[in-house]
Structure 1
Amino acid sequence: MLANAKVTRLYGPMKNKALFLDRDGTLNYDVHHLHDPAELVVVKGAREALMRARELGYRFYLVTNQSGVGRGYFTMEDVYACNRRLLELLDLGDDLFDGVIIAPEHPDQPSEYRKPSPKFLLEMIARDKLDPATSYMLGDRDSDWQCGLNAGVNPVALNTGKEFPEPAQALITAHEIPVYDSIVEFVATLG
């Protein structure tokens, strides 16, 4: 009982709501086929936004497509190194994410977890008893939003420094997906 009281005081009431987060263009600025940890730059204010969301009781899950591995541009070790650097820069602990999925396949290869597949989200919803109605999939690409739609969670479009192509705009319009400049702006709306 004491342990639960401590957790409540540190993070607010524990709830079954989650932020499923794309990596590139959501937590860090998008560098085409990022593979060098030295090039990873965290979105300004992302650390504070995550701290606020954590205080509000949100759990975090990292959901990233890394087709550069499948294309032969870099290795899984490069992806792991970038993820470690992300955790270092965010400085919120190595256990920040309750789950991480990396889909390394080329877009033309079969994949169970490559977004827009909802498989990972559905697995985490079942495993951690998350409420899809109070959970969000944040990302900067239509595959992120479609993943959220496919899993029954709320998609959120982030246009962190770039314009969306026409097909992405059409998806936003068709599904009335909210658009924010960054994770910082989105988290500020949570209550």
Structure 2
Amino acid sequence: MTKAIFLDRDGVVNVEKNYLYKIEEFEFIDGIFESLKKIQSLGYKIFIITNQSGISRGYYSVDDFEKLTSWMLEEFRNNEIVISQVEFCPHGPNDNCLCRKPKSGMIDKILKNYDIDLKNSWLVGDKSSDIECAQHAGISNTIQVKSGHKFKNDDSKADYICESIKDIDKIIQT
């Protein structure tokens, strides 16, 4: 079984910008490459799971999302980081789908392709819906970062809170 780290995209991987789909507006969170290299060296597979309701709202298309994702994955490869799979939910909050976080459908899809040890895996998100998704999926370890949506520490249900993804390697050490 493989241990994994599941990352939300907006606010965790990149700077939060509403309905981001343009490469020229995409900005990686400072320190992400160094941090993920350390995590990867510990034997973690890296996955990205992201709600993309801008698709259902008509702000951008699946093709727009896939172009940005291809570019992002290439940037990770250029920095010697392997993202094993990206899953996205194109639905809106009222569509009652199984994939939109806090539901665990995106993680369930990944589990069809990989034998993952959820008890020794992590999810990093910036919203309570990310943390709830981890809990629904059976992921034991959670980190909520402050680099995306604002929240009060007391309101977080995450196991750990840190400023951004650049700090997760101080928490995940084995």
**Which residue matches 1:184?**
166
Evaluate the alpha carbon distance shift between residue 157 and residue 35 of structure 1 in structure 2; reply closer, same or farther with a 3 A threshold.
Answer: same
Q: How far is 1:100 from its partner?
A: 1.7
Cα distance in structure 2, aligned partners of 1:83 and 1:46: 16
Q: In 2, distance between residues paired with 1:112 and 1:161? A: 24
Query: What's the counterpart of residue 67 of structure 1?
Result: 53
Q: Distance in 2 between matches of 1:179 and 1:83?
A: 27
Give the alignment's TM-score, normalised by structure 1. 0.81
- In structure 1, stretches of 5+ residues that fail to align are 1-14
Selected match of 2:27 from 38, 41, 60: 41
Show structure 2 runs of 5+ residues with no match: none
For the structure 1 residues 53 and 132, does the alpha-carbon distance in structure 2 shift closer, same or farther, using more than 3 Å as the test?
A: same
Match of 1:144 in 2: 130
When the two structures are aligned, how many residues end up with a matched partner? 171
The alpha-carbon distance between structure 1 residues 111 and 176, as it changes in their structure 2 partners (threshold 3 A), is: closer
1:30 aligns with 2:23: no
Alignment of 1:160 with 2:142, yes or no, is no
Give the C-alpha shift of residue 42 in structure 1: 0.6
Whole-Å separation in 1 of the counterparts to 2:113 and 2:104? 14
Deviations 1:138-179, CA, capped at 9 Å, x for gaps? 111111111001111122101116521x6x953x1xx35311
TM-score by length of 2: 0.88
1:102-154 Cα shifts (integer Å, max 9, x gaps): 10111111212111111232343464221111111111111111100111112
Equivalent position SS for 1:49: helix
After TM superposition, give the deviation of residue 72 of structure 1 in Å: 0.8
CA distance in 1, matches of 2:65, 2:92: 15
Structure with the larger helix share: 1
Q: Secondary structure at the match of 2:40?
A: helix
1:110 is aligned to 96
8 Å Cα contact 2:144-2:158 kept in structure 1 = no
The letter of the residue matching 2:85 is G
Q: Which has the larger radius of gyration?
A: 1
Shift of 1:189: 2.4
2:88–2:106 Cα contact (<8 Å) kept: no
| 1:4 match | none
Match of 1:82 in 2: 68
Match of 1:7 in 2: none
Q: Which amino acid aligns with 1:75?
A: S
Relative to structure 1, the CA distance from residue 169 to residue 86 in structure 2 (aligned partners, 3 Å threshold; closer, same or farther) is farther
Which one-letter code corresponds to 2:86 in the other structure?
Answer: V
Check whether the contact 1:125–1:132 (CA below 8 A) recurs between aligned residues: no
How large is the Cα RMSD of the aligned pairs? Answer: 2.1
- Change beyond 3 A, Cα 1:136–1:35: same
- One-letter amino acid of the structure 1 residue matched with residue 51 of structure 2: N
Name the % identity. 28
